[in-house]
């Protein structure tokens, strides 16, 4: 996703929250908890689903909504915590690339210290 696209999403969300006077509830601590709850709701969609099982379209719609809730909480959290998410992404991906070099990590599920 391009940085401009993410910034547009954050601005749209900022306006949505401002219109409803919700920033008063959006401390980084509360948003971190909300993010965990939303991620759990996404995970619940897969409870008792077998690997490879076809997911019906109506359930896929619900899964997409839960994934969007996770993104909304994450964007709210990053806004309130002054985190530049695209920059954090690039930094973390570079760290992971160093910890998991392709020649050692390809096809492996081992943690970096066991490669």
**Tens-place pLDDT, residues 70-102:** 999 999 999 999 999 999 999 999 999 999 999
| pLDDT higher at 111 or 17 | 17
| Number of domains composing the chain | 2
Do 18 and 71 have their domain in common? Answer: yes
Confidence label for 2 from pLDDT (cuts 50, 70 and 90):
low
- For residue 93, give its domain range: 85-115
Three-state secondary-structure class, residue 16: helix
Summarize pLDDT for 42-67 with one digit per residue, the tens. Answer: 999 999 999 999 999 989 999 999 99
* Sequence-distant (≥ 6) Cβ neighbours of residue 34 within 8 angstroms: 73, 76
Whether 85 contacts 78, CB under 8 Å: yes
Distance CA 82, CA 31 (A): 13
Is there a contact between 77 and 25 (Cβ–Cβ < 8 Å)?
A: no
CATH (domain of 11): 1.10.287.1080
Q: Do 73 and 101 belong to one domain? A: no
Same domain, residue pair 34 and 89: no
Q: What is the pLDDT of residue 114?
A: 82
What distance in Å separates the CA atoms of residue 40 and residue 76, rounded to the nearest whole number?
17
pTM: 0.87
Q: What is the pLDDT of residue 63?
A: 97
d(CA 74, CA 17): 14
């Amino acid at each position: 996703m391009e940085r401009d696209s993410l910034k547009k999403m954050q601005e749209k969300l900022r306006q949505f929250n401002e219109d409803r006077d919700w920033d008063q509830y959006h401390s980084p601590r509360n948003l971190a908890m909300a993010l965990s709850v939303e991620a759990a709701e996404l995970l619940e969609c897969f409870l008792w689903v077998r690997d490879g099982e076809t997911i019906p379209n109506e359930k896929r719609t619900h899964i997409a909504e839960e994934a969007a809730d996770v993104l909304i909480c994450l964007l709210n959290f990053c806004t309130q915590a002054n985190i530049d998410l695209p920059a954090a992404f690039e930094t973390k991906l570079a760290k992971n690339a160093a910890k998991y070099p392709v020649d050692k990590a390809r096809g492996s599920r081992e943690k970096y210290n066991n490669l």
